Amino acid sequence: MFKEFKEFIARGNVVDLAVAVIIGAAFGRIVTSLVEGVIMPPIGLLFGKVDFANLFIDLSGQRPASLVDAQLKGLPVIAYGRFLNDVITFLIVAWVVFLIVKAVNRLRAQPPPPPNTKDCPYCLTAIPLGATRCSACTSEVPVPAG
């Protein structure tokens, strides 16, 4: 069982996946920081000095002063501001992943086009695939079946 586990861990794709998860988690923290600290404050300013993280709907009718106050009192609230921040964070991460995948796909080597010539079996000159006679040595060349 240990040998199988060692082989499983030694596979390249398992290590690649582990690295991707670690990098993804770190990248997620960076994007969250970007959204909460850089992107949302100017948007909140545009909407009248609103802090999106503290937007909520009070379901209790007690009108708490803030989200923190409502949570400390254990009041039922819908904290939709955090949801907005999370949606924006997700959209940014999804956009960056899309750009990375697009760049990687562009870097992948395209398969070579199928050959459109063959070599003459007598003089080894390149001739078109459908040729029945070599243009260099004028030998008859058998046409491949198919």
Predicted TM-score (pTM) of this structure: 0.54
- Count how many domains the chain has: 2
Q: What is the pLDDT of residues 107-144, one digit of tens each?
A: 877 788 888 899 998 999 999 988 889 989 998 988 76
Q: What is the pLDDT of residues 37-94, one digit of tens each?
A: 888 888 878 877 777 778 888 898 898 888 888 889 999 999 888 888 888 888 888 8
Same domain, residue pair 23 and 54: yes
Residue-range definition of the domain harbouring residue 45: 2-107
Q: Are 121 and 141 in contact (CB under 8 A)?
A: yes
Same domain, residue pair 36 and 7: yes
Token reading at 66: 């803030």
